[in-house]
Each structure stands twice: as structure tokens, then as C-alpha cells.
Amino acid sequence: MAEHNLFLLLACLPFATSLILLTLSPNARGASTWLSGLSLVAGLAILAGFLPGIREGDVLRASLEWVPSLGMNLAFRLDGFAWLFTTLVLSIGVLVVIYARYYMSAKDSLPRFYALLMAFTGAMQGILISGNVLGMVVFWELTSFMSFLLIGFWHQGAAARDGARTALIITALGGLCLLTAMLMLGHVAGSHDLGVILRSGDAIRAHPWYGAILALFLLGAFTKSAQFPFHFWLPGAMAAPTPVSAFLHSATMVKAGVFLLVRFSPALGGTEAWFFTVTGIGMVTLILGAAVALYRHDLKGLLAYSTISHLGLITALAGIGGPVAILAAIFHICNHAVFKASLFMAAGIIDHETGTRDMRRLSGLFKPMPITATLAIVAAAAMAGVPLLNGFLSKEMFLAEAVYWHNGTWLDNALPYLAIVGSTLSVAYSLRFIATVFFGPQATNLPKTPHEPPAWMRRPVELLVFICLVVGILPALTLGAIVNIAARSVVGPDLAYYKIAIWHGVNAPLMLSLIALAVGTLIYALSAKAIATGPEGPFLLHRIRGQRIYDWLLFRLTWRLPRLALGLVSTESLQPQLRLLVLTALAVAVASLWGGLSFAPELRLHAFNPAFALLWTVGAACAIGAAWQAKYHRFAALVLLGGAGVVTCLTFAWFSSPDLAVTQLLVEVVTTALLLLGLRWLPKRRSEIPEDKLLPAKIRRSRDLVIAVVGGLGIASIAFAVMSRPVVSNVGDWFLGNAYYEGGGTNVVNVILVDFRAFDTFGEIAVLAIVGLTVYALLRRFRPAPESIEAPDQQTMADSPSVDDYLFVPSVIMVWMFPILIMLSGYFFFRGHDLPGGGFAAGVTLAIGFLIQYIASNVRWVEARITVLPIRWMGFGLLGAVTTGMGAWVFGYPFLTAHARYVNIPLVGQVPAATALLFDIGVFATVVGAVVLMLVAIAHQSLRASRRREQEELAARKEAA
């Protein structure tokens, strides 16, 4: 059990650290370094505790409930291979943390950097220890996202942003392919458990889906580990801070791809298709990467391409797939991580201390920084595969596999030759790195004077180079045992112990190694001058750039093609879109009602009432008049709109809906006030627009008229068809029957709003608050049109009495209305549960009370006397509603369960005191806040405009004086 919990702790630790780091202040450099370093060390300690079990070949398992309703758990699984890889990741992580402490400048927020780094480490570790392939894909995508943030850490630079985006698009797309592959694998194997999938290799290979699974799986792995033709994201990712490069491109990220290849080789490997694609692509990448690396002038660019090349080597080994090849792949994963991390860190030191990474400018650095130079030279030698260093051992195992392993295909026959080409080139670029940077005449025109870095910045490099040496000289004593355990956990328990040794006698691989060293040196010696002055790529190849093809494709896909499609199927202008919308609605209605719309044989009608007919004669005239006048006579249209609204309100009252009538009437008041305030900012339109008289405009109007009439007829006939039928019993009956017993109120509409369907109401007041805030935010940056800034004519006419004067009597009345309206609002509110009224109506009434004060006198007078804080009203309203709802949890009921009872208050009498009333207070306050906020925000625009005008006048007067 303790082991189980420790294992879960290991999985969660980096994420938890990341969260804590995010809370630290940006200046907490020391604390954040210690915290991240110690968290990784704690992880390593847990892993060390697991070692005895791992040695025995145990597989550790743990699981965490994730989506129990879907039966999905986060399962973890630790075997030898995962153990070795996780240890590698965490160890290099510790060194990167120490290194970054000195590399990152004071301007960079270290806690943020470490938080991203820790989250990335957690995701990477998650891939390694996932016991469920779906969980693995989740972590896989998480590494893509975290690496995006890390590569783009210096987001001020365009190169960093582009590099980060390219990396994200390529690796995340690969991740989606991988997800599909994993889902198919899970279907074929019958389980998403990693162990089960790895054991059902035969079933998978025999399945008709094998080809598709393999293709998708390899797309995922190849994009992640930067295999040709997806390699170009990796050099672009060099815009990242160097500690990130050192981490991502040595032990993590790119290694996730080869991890996957090695891990799944028992399940998917062993077929000809696997061998040809994996080894083939691996060899192409190996040679191409090495060839381009030789020509790169940027130090990190050289290392990036050499990383691509080494990943190709590991991929090729995974493609061969024999037990020794897997062992060699695992061994090379470790070795490459060690020497490449140290090289990146050394490159970072050089960049940090000289100010440049351009190898054409760097020269003779051995003298000013001898220790760093020595370390970098040893690491580069390990990369080249010089004997007595770790890179030599795994590279020789690779050469041995290339020579001795056979399956009789042409690719197998070509392997030794391809391998020797790759090794030769890798010697050449390593030599170029050593020779140009550290030897030759000392460079003089560097941005900074080079010197040794702070001691602790170099410590991680020293340790890594020390490991290169120790592993290189004593392989069997150091990594031999654990690499064997790891390989056994991949290929099976019957793997014989493979003894890694330096000396196997004079044999073909040794000869190949020596040839590579000699020829590589020769190549560099002959072409050093040409390379230094030439383009960044081998002959002609530098003209074909993956990055350029990708950019072209991306531009086509995300810019040109959508524009083209938009031009074909859409328009930017609103009218055709709305017309299409209306026509579609009409078409859908016709299609669904075709042949089905019939009137009831026995129409159930109410007796004709002439007063009602008269009412709607006026209403219809108002509606048509508003439609007719809205263009040239906005004020008239507004008045007519109000008329239609009042008739609607009376209709509600007529047909037993007092709540709706009250609300409609009140809302009508505020809507009219609102639109009146808006009229001020619209252009004057005194003469007819000449184009309106032209034929096209007339045709458009007639066409729209036809659409409108058809639409109106349609709605009217549907409405009549429904209204003339008897009512079907529905949920309303239940509401009517239970409003009093369950909701404690007799006004059913109100009980529905604040009790039965309170959650809907909660949603609506949230919408209201959001709209209020949006209006407020939009108006904060409002700039009126130039001609509306002037004060309106009525105010500028010299002999006209001011607004205050001619509204004098009404304004006194309006001021006195304020307490009455507050009263009315309270009345509406308290009777709401039993009689027409409620939070909505009360809220709008109070808002009208405030609004009338603004109308009665000028804004400054009102605001000097009443302080309304609408945003607080809204905030308290929403909070009140939520708290009331959550109060139900205390008693063990679902959200917003209401409780009702009557309370006897002295003098007042029986008062319904349901918790729904508290909720209604929330509704009330939110409505008041939102309505007042919107109206006041719009009303203030005049104030702002006049203030600006006064300031300008003042400035003009000063200038004149």
C-alpha cells in the first residue's frame, strides 16, 4: 500500500510543485529553484526506493479514479524501462533547474519558468509511467502544450512565438493521430491497459486494421521525435531558452517519440512494414540530420540537427527490433541524453558569456574559458563516438546491429553503408564544433568579453561529462545492469544478459568506427573553409526547406483557403445573412409542417369582443407605422413602438397574466428611455437618401416585403392552429397543483421562477449581469461620431429656455416620485410570491425610480445626491442567489432547493418567508444593478462629451489669451 501511495505521489509531485510555484512572487528566485530542485530530488528518492523491486523484474501498478462514470481511471505502471527513463528525466531535470537558475536573467520570472518546467516534467513522466494508453495520450498532448509554453517563454520575440507554434501544431497533430491509433489498438486488443496491449502483439499484427494503426502510431511517434519529414520543428524550437532546449532535446519531448517506438515494438514491431518504415525513416533522418548539422552556423542549430540525427539512429534501432537492438536503443537514449544535455548547456554558457552563437564569429575560446572548453570537447567527442566515452559504446552497438543483423531485404543489405555515412558525418560536425569554437585565433569582435561562467552554472555540465567518461570507461559497472533490466522489461524475461564492453576484439564494427573517425576528420579538414562561408545546408539541399514548405502549407490552409471559402459561401454584409436566416426559418417551418398543418375540425374559440378588436387595430397600426417610419422619423417610430408595446401589455392583462402585464409595462418604460438616450448619437437624416429612390432599392424593398408578409402569415396561421385546439394537459398542471404545497406561494408564475425552475432564472440573471457589464465595458472606450459631439441644437439656441427651466414643475414631481417608486418596488417585491409582482418587476421599478431622477434634473445634480453602485448591486445579487442556492447543500438537498413557511411578523401579519424569497432578493438586486448600469452608462456619454467640449473650449480660450 505504501508503495502504491508513493507511486501516486511520484506521479502528482511535479504538478503539485508547478501549482505552488505559480503562487510565488516573480522575485522568489532562490525559493523557486530550491522548491523545484527538491521536488525532483524527492521524485528520484521515491524511484530509488523502488529499485530493489524493479531489479527483481516487478511491475509496479497504481490507479487513481478519473472518470468513474465512464470506467476510466488514471492507471500507472512502472517497469524497468519506465524506471530507467523516469530516472533519466528527473536527474537531467535537477541539473537543468540548477543551470537555469544562473542562465535566466533577472528580467525573467523564474517561478513561472519553473512552474512550466515542472508541469512539463510531470507530463513527460506521465507518458513514461502511464498504464493506460489513453492516459498516455493525454500526457502526450500535455507535453505538446507545455513545450509550446516553454519554447515560447520569451514570447516577446517573433522567432520564439513561431517556433513554439510550429512545434505545437506538428506535435499536437501527431498526438491526435496517436490518439486514433490508441483507440484502435484498444479495440483490437480488447482493453486500453498497456500491459494487455503489449501482450497481444500477435492479434494486433494479424488484424486487418494493422496497417492503419501502424501508420497513425508512427505519425505520432515521428512527429514527436522530429523524424524526417517532420524534423523542422526542432530547429525552430531553438528559440527557447537554452535550459529548455537542454531538457526538451536531450532527455524529454523528442525522446517521448523513441520511447513509444521502443515500448510498442513488441506489440507492433517485427513485421516488414515496421522494419521498412521505422528503420528506413530512421536512417534517412540519421544521414540528413548529420549532413545538415555540418553546415549550420548557429551553435544550437548544429546541436539541433545532430539531435535529429541521433534520434534517427535510435529510431533505426527500434525498427530493427531485435533484443540487442532494443538494448542498444535504450542505452543510446541514456547516452545521448547525457552528452546532448551537457552540450546544450555548454552552448548556453558560450552564448551567455560571449553574446553570440554564430560559429562564424566564435573562435579560439579555449584560452578565455579553458574548463568549459574541455568539458564541451569531451561531450562533443562522446557525440562523435570517440572510444572511452559513452557515445562510442552505443554507436558501436548500432554498427554491430547494422552489420550482423539480417532479414535479407535490400534495406538490410544497405544498412552498414548507410550507418557508416551517418557516423562519418557525425564525426565531421562534432569536429567542426570543437575546431571552430575553441581553436584558431581568438575572436576579438564578440559582443561580450568571454570568461568562465559562475561555478554553479558549470557544475551540471561537469557532472554530465563525468558520467560520459565513467560510463564510457566502466560500462558494465555503471549502466550495464539497469539497461539490461530495462531491455528485459521491453522484450520479455527470456533476454540473455548482454554484457556491454569496450573491447570486443578487432572486428567489423570497430573497423567501421575507425574508418568513420578518419574519414570524418578528413572531410572536415578538406571542407572547413567552404562550410564557414557557404550556405546553411549541403549542396542543393539547403534550397529545400521543410520549414518553408510547412509555412506555405499553413498559410494556404489557415489563411488563403478559409478566405476563399468565405468568399464563396458567405458575405461580410449583414442583410443577406439575415435574409438567409429568415428564409431558412421559413423553409424549415414549411418543410416540417407541409401537409401537417391543419385546423381543428371543431374550432374552440372565444366570443368576439369589439374592444379587443379595436385595441389591436391600434396595435397593428402602431406596428406598421413603426416599420414605415423607422428610417426617417426615428422618434415617431419609437413612440409607435411604445404603442405596440402597451397593446401587448394589455393583451397579457386581458388573458389572465397580470405578472406579464406588469413586467411588460415596466420594461416598456425602460426600453423607451434607453432608445431615447441612444437617439442622440445617430446621424441626422432630414433629406431622403437619393439612392433609396432608385430601382434596385425598390426591388429590394418589395422582395423583403414579400418575405415579411409570408413570414407573418405563416406565424399567424400556426398561432391560430394551436390556439383553436383544446389545451393538452402538461407540466403546468403539476405546477398549479403543487405551487402552494411545495413552493409555499400562491402566485404560480413566481413560484416557478424562484423555486421550481430557479436554476433557469439564475442563468437568466447571470445573462443580464453579463450584458450589463458588456454594455458598460463597450461604452468605456466609446468615441462618438464627430458631428454628434456638438451640443444639440435645443441647447445651443441662444433664446431658448434651458431644459431645467421648462421641466421645472415636472422635475419637482419626479423628484417626489422617488420615495413612492421605492415603496412601489418594495410592494411588488413582497407580494410577489402570492400575488402578481416579484423580483423582476420590483427590480425594474426601482431602476425606473433612479432613471426618473436622472431625467428630472441634470446628471451632476443627481450624482451629487445619490450614489448608485450598480456593479455592486449586480455582484451582491448574483452572490446572494448563489449562496441561497448553496444553502440547500448544508441540509443535504440539491442546489437551489427552496424551503417555505409563513412567519408572523408583529403589525405586518403573516408573511411568506421562503428561502425562495432570498433568491428573489438576488434576482431583484441583479435586475436593479444591470438596468441602472446600462441606462447610466449610456446617459453618461452626453456628460463625457460635454466635459470634453468644455475642456476643448477652455484650451482654445487659453491659447487665444
Partner 1 sequence: MEIILSAAIGILSASGIWLLLRPRSFQVIIGLCLLSYAVNLFIFSMGRLTPGAPPIMPKGGFVDPTLYADPVPQALVLTAIVISFATTALFLVVMIASRGLTGTDHVDGKERSQ
Residues in a beta bridge with 902: 912
Which cell numbers in the block locate residue 130? 502511464
- Which CB, 69 or 729, lies closer to partner 1? 729
Q: Is 715 in the site for partner 1 (CB under 8 A)?
A: yes
DSSP secondary structure of 471-535: HHH-HIIIIIHHHHHHHHHHH-TTPPPPPP-S---S-HHHHHHHHHHHHHHHHHHHHHHHHHHS-
Contact region for partner 1 (CB under 8 A) — 18-26, 122-130, 504-512, 731-739? 731-739
CB distance 354 to 362 below 8 Å: yes
User: Which of the residues 71 through 100 are near partner 1 (CB under 8 A)?
Assistant: none
Among 565, 566, 682, 879, the residue binding partner 1 under the rule CB under 8 A is 682
Q: How far is the CB of 568 from partner 1 (least distance, A)?
A: 19
User: Which of the residues 128 through 167 are near partner 1 (CB under 8 A)?
Assistant: none
CB atoms within 10 A of CB 535: 13
- Which CB, 506 or 613, lies closer to partner 1? 613
The CA-atom distances, in angstroms, between 450 and each of 416, 430, 442 are: 43, 22, 10
CB distance 664 to 924 below 8 Å: no
Q: State the residue for C-alpha cell 512502472.
A: 78
Q: How far is the CB of 675 from partner 1 (least distance, A)?
A: 7
User: Which of the residues 784 through 803 are near partner 1 (CB under 8 A)?
Assistant: 784-786, 788
Q: Is 920 in the site for partner 1 (CB under 8 A)?
A: no
89: nearest Cα among 20, 43, 151:
43
Q: Is 674 in the site for partner 1 (CB under 8 A)?
A: yes
Q: Is 927 in the site for partner 1 (CB under 8 A)?
A: yes
- Those residues with Cβ within 8 angstroms of residue 782's Cβ, 6 or more apart along the chain or in another chain: 941, 944
CB distance 393 to 334 below 8 Å: no
Among 293, 419, 516, 930, the residue binding partner 1 under the rule CB under 8 A is 930
- Which CB, 70 or 613, lies closer to partner 1? 613
User: Both ends of the chain: CA-CA distance in Å?
Assistant: 88
Residues in a beta bridge with 60: 78
Contact region for partner 1 (CB under 8 A) — 323-331, 616-624, 813-821, 884-892? 616-624
Among 705, 866, 869, 955, the residue binding partner 1 under the rule CB under 8 A is 705
340: nearest Cα among 296, 292, 305:
305
- Which CB, 64 or 911, lies closer to partner 1? 911
Cα gap 608→454, rounded to integer Å: 97
- Which CB, 68 or 690, lies closer to partner 1? 690
Burial 231-267 (b: 16+ CB within 10 A, else e): bbbbbbbbbbbbbbbbbbbbbbbbbbbbbbbbbbbbb
Cα gap 760→176, rounded to integer Å: 37
Characterise 161 by phi-psi region: left (phi > 0), alpha (psi -120 to 50), beta (else): alpha
Q: How far is the CB of 832 from partner 1 (least distance, A)?
A: 11
DSSP conformation class of 275 = I
Cα gap 412→391, rounded to integer Å: 23
| Pairing label, strands 902-905, 909-912 | antiparallel
- Which CB, 770 or 813, lies closer to partner 1? 770
DSSP conformation class of 596 = T
Among 15, 145, 681, 827, the residue binding partner 1 under the rule CB under 8 A is 681
Site mask for partner 1 (CB under 8 A), range 409-428, x = bound = --------------------
Which cell numbers in the block locate residue 511? 573497423
Q: Is 746 in the site for partner 1 (CB under 8 A)?
A: yes
Q: Please give the backbone phi and psi of residue 75, each rounded to the nearest 5 degrees, phi first.
A: -100, 140
Q: How far is the CB of 635 from partner 1 (least distance, A)?
A: 10
CB distance 452 to 365 below 8 Å: no
Q: Is 605 in the site for partner 1 (CB under 8 A)?
A: yes
Q: Is 752 in the site for partner 1 (CB under 8 A)?
A: yes
- Residue 687, Cβ density class (10 Å: 0-12 exposed, 13-18 middle, ≥19 buried): exposed
CB atoms within 10 A of CB 793: 9
- Which CB, 2 or 605, lies closer to partner 1? 605
Contact region for partner 1 (CB under 8 A) — 29-37, 60-68, 538-546, 761-769? 761-769
Site mask for partner 1 (CB under 8 A), range 450-479, x = bound = ------------------------------
- Which CB, 299 or 641, lies closer to partner 1? 641
Q: Please give the backbone phi and psi of residue 905, each rounded to the nearest 5 degrees, phi first.
A: -100, 130
Among 151, 347, 377, 934, the residue binding partner 1 under the rule CB under 8 A is 934
Contact region for partner 1 (CB under 8 A) — 241-249, 333-341, 406-414, 709-717? 709-717
- Which CB, 342 or 761, lies closer to partner 1? 761
Q: Is 757 in the site for partner 1 (CB under 8 A)?
A: yes
Site mask for partner 1 (CB under 8 A), range 861-900, x = bound = ----------------------------------------
Compute the C-alpha angle 394/341/93, nearest 5°.
115
User: Which of the residues 578 through 597 are near partner 1 (CB under 8 A)?
Assistant: 578-579, 582
Q: Is 657 in the site for partner 1 (CB under 8 A)?
A: yes
Q: How far is the CB of 886 from partner 1 (least distance, A)?
A: 22
Q: How far is the CB of 376 from partner 1 (least distance, A)?
A: 58
Among 191, 271, 521, 671, the residue binding partner 1 under the rule CB under 8 A is 671
Which cell numbers in the block locate residue 144? 505538446
- Which CB, 298 or 668, lies closer to partner 1? 668
Among 131, 321, 836, 880, the residue binding partner 1 under the rule CB under 8 A is 836
Q: How far is the CB of 956 from partner 1 (least distance, A)?
A: 23
Q: How far is the CB of 935 from partner 1 (least distance, A)?
A: 8
Q: How far is the CB of 843 from partner 1 (least distance, A)?
A: 8
Q: Is 768 in the site for partner 1 (CB under 8 A)?
A: yes
Cα gap 490→266, rounded to integer Å: 7
Residue type, 906: P
- Those residues with Cβ within 8 angstroms of residue 494's Cβ, 6 or more apart along the chain or in another chain: none
| Pairing label, strands 72-78, 60-67 | antiparallel
Q: Is 723 in the site for partner 1 (CB under 8 A)?
A: yes
DSSP-derived 3-state class of residue 130: strand
Q: Is 840 in the site for partner 1 (CB under 8 A)?
A: yes
DSSP secondary structure of 59-101: -EEEEEEEEGGGTEEEEEEE-HHHHHHHHHHHHHHHHHHHHHH
Q: How far is the CB of 826 from partner 1 (least distance, A)?
A: 19
Cα gap 289→227, rounded to integer Å: 9
Site mask for partner 1 (CB under 8 A), range 617-646, x = bound = --xx--xx-xx--xx--x--xx--x--xx-
Q: How many residues bind partner 1 (CB under 8 A)?
A: 120
Cα gap 835→404, rounded to integer Å: 94
Cα gap 318→301, rounded to integer Å: 26
Q: How far is the CB of 850 from partner 1 (least distance, A)?
A: 15
User: Which of the residues 842 through 861 are near partner 1 (CB under 8 A)?
Assistant: 844
Among 442, 449, 717, 951, the residue binding partner 1 under the rule CB under 8 A is 717
DSSP conformation class of 277 = I
User: Which of the residues 551 through 580 are near partner 1 (CB under 8 A)?
Assistant: 572-575, 578-579
CB distance 870 to 768 below 8 Å: no
- Which CB, 454 or 763, lies closer to partner 1? 763
- Which CB, 449 or 774, lies closer to partner 1? 774
Q: Is 609 in the site for partner 1 (CB under 8 A)?
A: yes
Q: Is 767 in the site for partner 1 (CB under 8 A)?
A: yes
Q: How far is the CB of 905 from partner 1 (least distance, A)?
A: 18
